[in-house]
Amino acid sequence: MKAEYVIVGAGSAGCALAYRLTEAGHRVTLIEFGGSDRSIYIQMPGALSYPMNMPRFDWGFHTRSEEHLGGRSLVTPRGKVLGGSSSINGMVFVRGNRKDFDHWQESGADGWGYKDVLPYFKRMEAWHGGASPWRGTNGPLHVTRGSRRNPLFNAFTEAGEQAGWPHTPDYNGENQEGFGPMEATIWGGRRWSAAAAYLRPAMKSGLLTIVHGFARRVLFQDNRAYAVEIERKGIIECVEAEREIILSASSINTPKLLMLSGIGPADHLVQHGIPVIADRPGVGANLQDHLEIYMQYKSLKKVTLYTYYNLLGKGRVGVEWLLQKTGLGASNQFESCGFIRSSDAVDYPDIQYHFLPLAVRYDGKAAVSGHGFQVHVGPMRSKSRGTVRLVSNDPNAAPEIHFNYMSHPDDWKEFRACVRLTREIFDQPAMAEYRGDEIQPGADVQSDDDIDTFIRQHAESAFHPCGTARVGAEDDPLAVVNPELCVIGTQGLRVADSSIFPRITNGNLNAPSIMTGEKAADHILGRFRCNTGWDNSLIVD
């Protein structure tokens, strides 16, 4: 099998990359281990808690024991399906803060500042919120807002304003800070994943071949990547690339593939008997995530989703969605949000809120008995760093994932601020007619030690891993890819997914991951040079 370009991973970035390369007239082979995304559990937004807990759609990764979280092992869902994690996530759309990308630029990712990435955010989206110089309206990715019919949504944002924070009409626009409506990749009542937005249009071009196989390693001649070794139906095959190979396999599987291919910390590779192609200590390092807690309250009014949290209620919601693609099943129920600063000393928001009119775990497995509501809240820029490492040279072995959560003392200070600021917000008049007793952490959890114990026992991943093959300057010993996303020390190999993030962005990672795929395509096509910016005369024939 041969193509001009071979992409590993049909996820958020991989789908966008495949679309733009085929749009430019190139033959692309896309390797994806997972199967079809045509399932009600994926397509119905209200069913979001199901696919991330189904082995059919999820790789089933777990962390090793996290010593600062009481030795707990946390789940690390990653999409194993067309669309990747965009097919199993919560569909929340957050670009990140402009200062996130300016930090990337300052840390050596030339050409990845906000002014450079904004055109790609605009190019990729079809925003349905009205005219705005900050937003795009003609892209393949539909971005919408929920109806916010439930009174709790507006009560929460009003409470945030009463607590002294601004109202932000569009946190993806000019100003992120404040409280306002949340946006989602939902269109026509369906999940609008990267597969829907990019992959299906690319398939119509006739230039895209999708190969369902398990990627084992990249093959090299000298230091040039020329093929991907895959296993398909028990047979080992090679998928050759005439021009380039691009890894878009996630921040967990991309560093695993790099190391299995001989690119990574030399001592680690030698330990597992893997010949070293390029000694890059940064491969698998710099692992980051967002942790969050659920702060839950009883509701004094029966206006929450608990009314539908039973077999009959779920059935009614499902039937309406099946027949009309409307109703509660057509929303992810994250329709209001907030971005605030933990203190005046912080120069831009470092806390995010997802409000939900139900008191329930993210995986849907445990709901509070009775009417309640909650916010998911957590710090945005943890200083803790972890690793992804091989456990052997067997491609079928899952990697060791160690986020090293809460290992930096500042993380504890920021999380305590999350708890106390959230209580201030819910104590505002706008919530008075709805706010009952605090379910968790509980009114008796007040001291630093008590809050820390709650965090240690109850903090959960927001499922935003990134950073394990970070972009940086060629002479940066910990950078894995240069600003053109070429793997340093090799030829013909690039990375394009959330692995490249030098530092995690504010909010959910689906939008910046798709942006990465969009921008990677222009680097490959020669339309963007990091030292000069855009130049359409550089398009590769």
Q: Measure CA 175 to chain center.
A: 21
Please say whether the beta carbons of 528 and 519 come within 8 A.
yes
Q: Assess whether pLDDT exceeds 90 at residue 540.
A: no
Q: Which two tokens stand for residue 496?
A: 């394009």
Q: Is 222 exposed, middle or buried (0-12, 13-18, 19+ CB in 10 A)?
A: exposed
User: Residues 444-472: pLDDT tens digits?
Assistant: 999 999 999 999 999 999 999 999 999 99
Is 481 part of any known ligand binding site?
A: no
- Name the percent of the chain lying above pLDDT 90: 94
Is 92 part of any known ligand binding site?
A: yes
Q: Is 257 helix (H, G, I), strand (E, B) or coil?
A: helix
248 falls in which pLDDT band (50, 70, 90)?
very high
H-helix or E-strand containing 267?
Answer: helix 266-271
What pLDDT shows up at residue 536? 46
Q: Assess whether pLDDT exceeds 70 at residue 485.
A: yes
Nearest Cα residue to 522 out of 499, 500, 491, 496: 496
Is 90 part of any known ligand binding site?
A: yes
Q: Which two tokens stand for residue 477?
A: 């010993």
What pLDDT shows up at residue 535? 56
DSSP string spanning 387-443?
A: EEE-SSS-TTSPPEEE--TT-SHHHHHHHHHHHHHHHHHHTSGGGTTTEEEEEETTT
What pLDDT shows up at residue 360? 87
> 103, 142, 464, 523: which one is catalytic?
464
Is 81 part of any known ligand binding site?
A: yes
> What is the spatial distance between Cα 165 and Cα 174, in angstroms, rounded to a whole number?
16
Residue numbers of the domain that contains 179: 2-538
Number of domains present in the structure of the chain: 1
What pLDDT shows up at residue 309? 87
- 464 catalytic per annotation: yes
What pLDDT shows up at residue 530? 72
User: Residues 216-240: pLDDT tens digits?
Assistant: 999 999 999 999 999 999 999 999 9
Instruction: Report the CATH number that the domain containing residue 279 is assigned in CATH.
Output: 3.50.50.60
- The model's pTM is 0.96
User: Residues 332-364: pLDDT tens digits?
Assistant: 999 999 999 999 999 999 999 999 999 987 666
Please say whether the beta carbons of 461 and 87 come within 8 A.
no
Q: Assess whether pLDDT exceeds 80 at residue 368.
A: no
User: Residues 378-416: pLDDT tens digits?
Assistant: 999 999 999 999 999 999 999 999 999 999 999 999 999
